[in-house]
Every structure is written in C-alpha cells, then in structure tokens.
Amino acid sequence: MQSFISPVTKAILVALFIFAILLILYVILWYICRDVDCDHAALKLYWLGLKVLLNQLFCRPFTLPELPRQHGRVAIVTGGSRGIGYETARHLARLGAHIIIAGQNEVEGVSAVKRIHEENREAKVEFEQLDLASLQSVRKFVQSFKRKGLPVHVLVNNAGVMLVPESCTKDGFEHHFGVNYLGHFLLTLLLLDKLKHSGKRGSCSRVVTLSSSAHHAGEIRLGDLQNRHCYSAHAAYCQSKLALLLFSSHLQQRLDRGGFPVSTYAVDPGMVNTSLYRHLTPPARLVQRAVARLLFRRPSQGASTVLYTALSPSLEGDGGGYWSNGHTAMTSPNTHDPQLQLSLWDISSRLVGLQEHHQP
Ligand SMILES: NC(=O)c1ccc[n+]([C@@H]2O[C@H](COP(=O)([O-])OP(=O)(O)OC[C@H]3O[C@@H](n4cnc5c(N)ncnc54)[C@H](O)[C@@H]3O)[C@@H](O)[C@H]2O)c1
C-alpha cells in the first residue's frame, strides 16, 4: 500500500513524538522532585540519570581485557564488602593480589572474605575496620595497615553513600562530603608515602577513585561545602563526586611535579544495580526498581573500568583522567579550574588537620 505521508512529514512527526516523550518524562521528574529539591539539584540529577540510562541502552558494556597476574602485589579496596567494591576485590583476588577489604561493617566484611575464600581457597584476602565517617577511624586504619609492613600497589577509593537523610559524620561534616570525599582525601594522603615507595618507573602504583557522572550536576561552593545554605542530599552527593574528581586530577599534578611513580584515575562505573539506591525517595525508588533489571549494569560490569584503570599495563603513566565504560570521558568544565582544585585541596587539608609533610 502506498504511503500518503512524505519522508519529511514522517521525520517531523518522529521528532515531535520524541520531544513529547521527553517533555512528559521531564514533568514526571519535576513532580517526583518537587518536595526534595533545592536549587533544582534533584531534578538535574534524575535528568542526568535518564540520559545515562538511554546511553546504556544503546551502548555495549565495556569488556575487560585479560589483565596481568598480581602475585606479590597488595590492593586496598574501601567498601569492598558489597556492590562494585566486592566485585573489584573478588577479581583482584582471582588475579592473585593480596586484598585488604576496608569497611565499617565487620559482619558484612567477614562474610565477603568468606565468600571470596569459598570461591578460591588460595585467595589472600582480609578485612580491616575503616569507617570513613570518622577521621579517627581513618587514621587508626592507616596505622594498623602500616604495622603489617606491607607495600600498597593499588588503592581503590570505592566506598560511598548516596542520598542519605541529612546528618553529620562523627567529626561534624555533612555526611556525603565527609564519607565520600573527606574520608578518602585523608586516607589517600596518609597512604601516599607507601604508594610512592611501592611504585616504580614503568610500574606506577595506582589510586582509583570512584566518581560518577552525577558530578556533572555538582557544584563546589567553597564558602558552603557542608551545604548549610539550602540542604539537598542530591546536591550533596553530586558535590562529593565532583570534589573527588577535582582531588584525583590535582593529586596527579602534584605527584607529577614531584616525579613520584603514582598514577591517579577517576572512574564513573555507570548506573549499576546495587544497594547505593536504597535511600531514593519512595516514588523514585519505585521507578528505579522497575527499570534496574533491564537497564542498570551488573556490579561486575560496574567494576570493569575500575579494574582496567587499576591494572591495565596499557594505561601506564596515563594518570589524571576520568574514565567511563573503558574510555576517557568528558568532565564538567569546572573540573579543570586549577584555582578551584587548589582552594579545595587547601580547605580539605585544614578540615582533616593534615600536616605539610603528608602533602606531595
Ligand atoms: N551504583 C551506581 O550506579 C553508581 C554510579 C556512580 C558511582 N557509583 C559509586 O560507586 C561506589 C560504590 O557504590 P556501589 O554502587 O557499589 O554501592 P553499595 O551501596 O553497594 O556499596 C557501597 C560501599 O560503601 C561502604 N560504605 C558506606 N559508608 C561507609 C563508611 N562510612 N565507611 C566505610 N565504608 C562505607 C558500604 O559498606 C559498601 O560496602 C560509590 O562510591 C558510588 O558513589 C555507583
């Protein structure tokens, strides 16, 4: 049968249809966010999530190439007892590395160690207590690790929380800022002498930090890092992920200036089906659960770019970047602002009470 609609009219109708769908989705998001929003942070985060999901629908997940055996090498994975961190630790253990799972929940940590041992009797894996919501706990973890006399070749700053209700860490910092960012800032800098001594030219030790595409919706307000002006858990999460990205990039510049054999990588694991989403508002959680099985990545897929940046010889000496789905990815423009990086670094050092000699 002959069609009466010309190709141009067809294209216009398709474009109008897509526009209408996007408009409807935007209005739904706006409705879901209306009670929790502040400076449209929630709306921006969910809109971003929608774009990432569409991208994941059409883009194949990155397939991890074969990675070298890791015998004699030591890796620390924060929050390695579940989700992306667990899959990262499991894979590293399979490759023969000695793994320290660092987490705040001992029961979960011990169970993760047991599961890895069940799969691989030879695995060298242990759990160590680390609560990133307490600077004292971070310092205690580093002291206890240093007493073991082990080197550290890979540090994976993986642990994180998202959209927890408004609360403070033991040191009085906003929870996302304190756990996701400041805790890892202090941990990395306290371990830096170990990382410097464990790496060598041609085989740098590596710091892999889990950021997120959510950083695109983030803003660093140097005068209000605790988000006290107008609190939104959404804005706080996005800010913490942007701060991690600025930290990772600035740390690489400092290490390069000192000629130290340590490389840093910031990673977006994609949207992965883990317990990270448990604090979403009820309507958003309902939608997330409905689409998660179909569109979200599995934790092992989320861990693949983490493992790639942590271990791939092809990335040797190629630090300082932001990686997603096995490739370098675009960051938000303010990530490259050197003054912002430096100011954030100085403020963070002061907040965690870091001595000069710990800074590269
Ligand atoms: N899941 C995703 O879609 C996604 C997307 C982008 C970025 N990320 C990032 O990936 C990382 C891992 O997240 P996930 O999806 O596996 O989530 P998850 O909730 O499964 O795991 C988070 C881990 O962090 C640990 N943790 C939380 N608070 C801690 C604290 N105070 N001290 C020590 N450990 C603590 C938890 O115990 C857990 O092991 C996070 O940094 C997250 O922001 C995840």
ipTM score = 0.99
Separation in Å, CA 341 to CA 10, 90, 148, 176 = 49, 33, 34, 19
Confidence of residue 36 (pLDDT cuts 50, 70, 90): low
pLDDT at 33 over 80: no
Section 31-53 average pLDDT:
77
In testing the pocket of ligand 1, which one of 45, 56, 84 has its CB within 8 Å of the most ligand atoms? Answer: 84
pLDDT at site 2: 58
Task: State which H helix or E strand residue 263 sits in.
Answer: strand 262-268
Q: Which of 46, 86, 181, 237 is catalytic?
A: 237
pLDDT at 1 over 60: no
Q: d(Cα 84, Cα 101) in Å, to the nearest integer?
A: 12
Share of residues in the chain with pLDDT > 90 (%):
74
- Cα-to-chain-centroid distance, residue 358: 23
Q: What is the CA angle 65-252-276, rounded to 5?
A: 60
**Distance from residue 5's CA to the centre of ligand 1 (Å):** 51
Instruction: Determine whether the shortest distance from the Cβ of 133 to ligand 1 is under 6 A.
Output: yes
pLDDT at 281 over 60: yes
Torsion of CA 71, 74, 76, 82, to 10 degrees: 20
pLDDT at site 141: 98
Instruction: Determine whether the shortest distance from the Cβ of 271 to ligand 1 is under 6 A.
Output: yes
**Distance from residue 79's CA to the centre of ligand 1 (Å):** 6
pLDDT at site 39: 62
Confidence of residue 43 (pLDDT cuts 50, 70, 90): confident
pLDDT at site 223: 86
Give the ligand 1 atom nearest the CA of 85: 16
**Distance from residue 136's CA to the centre of ligand 1 (Å):** 20
Q: d(Cα 21, Cα 42) in Å, to the nearest integer?
A: 20
In testing the pocket of ligand 1, which one of 276, 293, 301, 305 has its CB within 8 Å of the most ligand atoms? Answer: 276
Q: Are 330 and 215 in contact (CB under 8 A)?
A: no
Task: State which H helix or E strand residue 244 sits in.
Answer: helix 233-258
Pick from 71, 107, 101: nearest CA to 89: 101
- Based on the residue annotation, tell me whether 237 is a catalytic residue of this protein: yes
Mean pLDDT of all residues belonging to the chain: 92
The partner residues of 321 in beta bridges, in order of sequence, read 265
Residues in the chain: 360
- Main-chain phi, psi angles of 82, to 5 degrees: -150, 175
Section 196-217 average pLDDT:
96
Confidence of residue 358 (pLDDT cuts 50, 70, 90): low
Instruction: Determine whether the shortest distance from the Cβ of 85 to ligand 1 is under 6 A.
Output: yes
Share of residues in the chain with pLDDT > 70 (%):
95
Residue pLDDT, tens place only, 123-181: 999 999 999 999 999 999 999 999 999 999 999 999 999 999 999 999 999 999 999 99
Residue with tokens 């940590």: 109
